[in-house]
């Protein structure tokens, strides 16, 4: 895929010093281009640096630092969807990180949702069945989404998936190529602050989200991938 020039794309691994309580930046990696796979690449780069920081303790040594992966993106003309592969999720789970994705994007290409929905927010857990066909194991939808609700809806989706094998576990999905997909409608941003003032908010779209550390622990238990699929489509009349 041809890289697309962006203003800023950065992934920062930050935490809290367990002795002083001070906020610290452990690692940061940046790119001037957006291309397929760039986000997991940058995440793994900062995790490599975090692992060096923790020395012999490895990624598990970062648990004491309450770490967060912050992804910042400012760009034009891109669709900001991405996938986190199983190995990347395993590493994020090992260090107990949370993840914040905070994009500022204008001129987003039209990208329809791959599921038939008029809802603003959908979380879907899928896996292969005995016939190697992908089926929906659990799903949660929200008609209007205003942010900060991902934790509740993702937790409810996992909770429903637990009952699929009647053993209250996600480990039975490990050989079924499970996938957690987050579908989120684009939103216009009204609060972007630039150089002490507000720029043109009508041009900005912020399909961002937050994943807490428990999400990565459960995805790792299931050997699952994570897919982020932002989209924009008009509601049906009366929806």
Query: Tokens standing for 204?
Result: 């900005």
Over residues 143-185, the pLDDT tens digits come to 766 556 667 889 999 999 999 988 878 999 999 999 999 998 8
Rounded to 5°, the CA angle 226-106-38 comes to: 35
3-state secondary structure of 5: strand
3-state secondary structure of 182: strand
Query: Tokens standing for 201?
Result: 């908010």
Q: Report percent pLDDT > 90 for the chain.
A: 59
Which pLDDT belongs to residue 166?
Answer: 84
Residue 124 has pLDDT above 90, yes or no: yes
- β-strand pairing of 179-185 with 68-76: unpaired
Over residues 61-107, the pLDDT tens digits come to 999 999 999 999 988 888 899 999 999 999 999 999 999 998 888 77
107 DSSP 8-state letter:
S
Give CA–CA dist 79/34, Å, rounded.
10
Q: Report percent pLDDT > 70 for the chain.
A: 83
Nearest to 103 by CA among 9, 38, 40, 183: 9
* Mean pLDDT of all residues belonging to the chain: 85
**Segment among 52-61, 100-109, 128-137 with least mean pLDDT:** 100-109
């Amino acid at each position: 895929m041809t890289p697309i020039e962006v203003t800023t794309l950065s992934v920062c691994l930050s935490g809290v010093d367990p002795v002083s309580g001070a906020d610290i930046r452990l690692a940061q990696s940046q790119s001037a281009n957006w291309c397929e796979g760039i986000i997991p690449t940058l995440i793994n780069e900062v995790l490599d640096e975090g692992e060096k920081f923790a020395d012999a303790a490895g990624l598990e040594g970062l648990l004491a630092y309450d770490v967060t992966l912050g992804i910042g993106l400012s760009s034009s003309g891109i669709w900001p969807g991405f996938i986190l592969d199983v190995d990347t999720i395993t590493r994020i789970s090992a260090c107990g990180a949370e993840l914040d994705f905070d994009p500022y994007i204008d001129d987003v290409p039209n990208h329809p949702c791959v599921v038939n929905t008029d809802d603003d927010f959908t979380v879907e857990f899928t896996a292969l069945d005995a016939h190697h066909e992908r089926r929906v194991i659990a799903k949660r939808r929200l008609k209007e989404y205003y942010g900060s609700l991902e934790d509740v809806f993702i937790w409810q989706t996992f909770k429903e998936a637990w009952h699929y094998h009647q053993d209250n576990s996600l480990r039975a999905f490990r050989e079924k190529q499970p996938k957690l997909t987050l579908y989120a409608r684009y939103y216009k941003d009204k609060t972007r602050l630039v150089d002490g003032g507000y720029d043109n908010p009508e041009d900005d779209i912020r399909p961002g989200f937050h994943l807490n550390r428990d999400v990565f622990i459960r995805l790792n238990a299931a050997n699952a991938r994570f897919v982020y699929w932002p989209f924009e489509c008009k509601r049906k009349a009366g929806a």
